[in-house]
Amino acid sequence: MAEKNPNRLTCVVNSTPLIALSIVGHLNLLKQLFDDVIVPYSVYNEVAQKGVGRIGANEITQADWLSIKHPNKTYFFPPELIGLDVGERDVILLAQEMHTDWVIIDEKLGRKVANILGLKIKGTLGILLISHRTNLITKEQAIIASQKLVESNIRLSKKLIDWFEQRLD
């Protein structure tokens, strides 16, 4: 089991936040917010290799600051039994193994499972919000980013967008 350096802020990221942050041109916020940004190999494969030609693929392959890793263990049951995909499973496994500070995941079920396991969770909008609060992006940039996400194929409810915009003040 890997020991976490207490002086480094770490996260494990799933595919949707990687793609969403690429869509809005803010993938680099992960590098600015975290010392170590870990992506499971299954997520990297999904976005960068199977997703060649799609938004996010090129950005991910060029982000040499991402650490691509395989989890050391697997669940004792197939993740499909509870509805997780392989990437979500590997994000959660790596977060547990590496004792990361945050799990960056947008999918509702993945967030629920991570929460039940005691992991700290942020989503794409949470990354944009923290980035605004730490002066990495302006309020206007955050709003424009959320609007681009709404216009893209990233599913965000009106309730979630309203929550996000209220917290920008």
Residues 71-91 pLDDT 10s: 997 765 555 557 788 899 999
Answering whether pTM is above 0.85, one says yes
Q: Range of 15's domain? A: 10-124
CATH number at residue 27: 3.40.50.1010
Distance of CA 51 to the CA centre of its chain: 17
The model's confidence at residue 17, banded by pLDDT at 50, 70 and 90, is very high
Helix axes 124-133, 15-23, angle to 10 degrees: 60
b/e sequence 67-84, b meaning 16+ C-beta within 10 Å: eebebeeeeeeebeeeeb
Question: Is 32 domain-assigned?
Answer: yes
What is the domain count for the chain?
1
